[in-house]
Structures are given as structure tokens and as C-alpha cells.
């Protein structure tokens, strides 16, 4: 394995750790610590906007390094490979989960999240708040699933 492959994998892992860490930080650290803070909504909104910016950069880097890792590892970037080998099937599942995470994340970040903040300024019990929570939960499950698959792929698959 060449140095470019190792650098690409390293960057991929760092971005995945950043993405997953950020998604865990918000509900496990930030939200409980600002629960009774008078500027809770402002803090949540500002933190969400900052994480959204760097988070989407991390996702872009994950997409680029993911494809680069396949190329540098010598894996064929073909539909046949993904559909006709067990390693390719696992890779295909990871790609589908990534696409699903991008879609859910986009809806969460650019619609539900913003609208739920507006809704919470009026009432703390809105349906968009629940949708924001659930879309975030689904995305963390998808991200952790992809991390597990990534570990499996790096070890040769199932």
C-alpha cells in the first residue's frame, strides 16, 4: 500500500470521527448543558449552523476520500463489482447508507432544523422539533452503521 492510500484512509477516518463525534456531542453534551439556559435556542441555533458548515465539508471529504480509497486500493469502480462480490455488496450497502444519510442530513439541516428553531420560539412542543430529533437519531444510526461496515471492509469484509 502506498503512502497516498494511507493518507487518504487517515483523512477519511478523521472526517468520520469528526462527523460522528459532532452528532453525538449535540444531544449528549450540548443540549443537556443548555437545557435551562435563557439563550438556549440561540445557542442551539448558532452551534447547529457552525456544525452544519464544517459537517458538510467533512461529508464532502468523506465522499472524495471514499472513492479515492477504492481507487488507490485497486478496487474496480463498477456496478458489476458492487453487485457480484460479497466485498462489493458490503461496499454498496455503505454507499447506499451514505446517500440516505446525505438526504436525511440535508432535509434536517436545511429545512427541519431551521423550522423547528422557529417553531420552538413560539412553543416548545412542536412536531418539527420531534422530526428534527428523529432525523438526527436516524442519521447517527446510519453513521455508526457505516463506521462498522468501514471497519469490516478494512478487515476484509464479513
Selection from 45, 15, 52 nearest residue 30 by Cα = 45
Place of cell 435551562: 36
Instruction: Give mean pLDDT, residues 14-41.
Output: 94
- Position 12 scores a pLDDT of 97
Domain count across the chain:
1
- Position 56 scores a pLDDT of 97
Residue range of the domain that includes 11: 3-154
Residues across the chain: 158
Total-model pTM: 0.89
Selection from 143, 113, 111 nearest residue 130 by Cα = 113
How far is it, in rounded angstroms, from Cα 26 to Cα 82?
Answer: 35
More confident site: 114 or 108:
108
Amino acid at each position: 500500500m502506498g503512502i497516498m492510500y494511507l493518507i487518504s484512509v487517515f483523512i477519511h477516518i478523521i472526517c468520520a470521527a469528526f462527523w460522528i463525534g459532532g452528532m453525538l456531542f449535540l444531544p449528549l453534551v450540548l443540549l443537556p448543558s443548555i437545557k435551562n439556559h435563557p439563550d438556549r435556542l440561540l445557542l442551539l441555533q448558532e452551534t447547529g449552523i457552525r456544525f452544519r458548515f464544517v459537517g458538510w465539508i467533512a461529508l464532502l471529504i468523506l465522499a472524495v476520500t471514499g472513492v479515492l480509497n477504492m481507487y488507490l486500493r485497486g478496487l474496480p469502480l463498477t456496478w458489476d463489482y458492487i453487485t457480484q462480490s460479497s466485498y462489493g455488496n458490503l461496499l454498496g450497502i455503505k454507499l447506499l447508507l451514505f446517500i440516505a444519510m446525505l438526504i436525511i442530513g440535508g432535509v434536517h439541516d436545511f429545512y427541519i432544523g431551521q423550522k423547528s428553531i422557529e417553531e420552538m420560539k413560539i412553543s416548545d412542543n412542536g412536531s418539527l422539533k420531534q422530526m428534527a430529533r428523529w432525523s438526527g437519531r436516524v442519521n447517527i444510526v446510519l453513521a455508526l452503521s457505516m463506521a462498522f461496515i468501514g471497519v469490516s471492509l478494512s478487515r476484509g469484509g464479513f
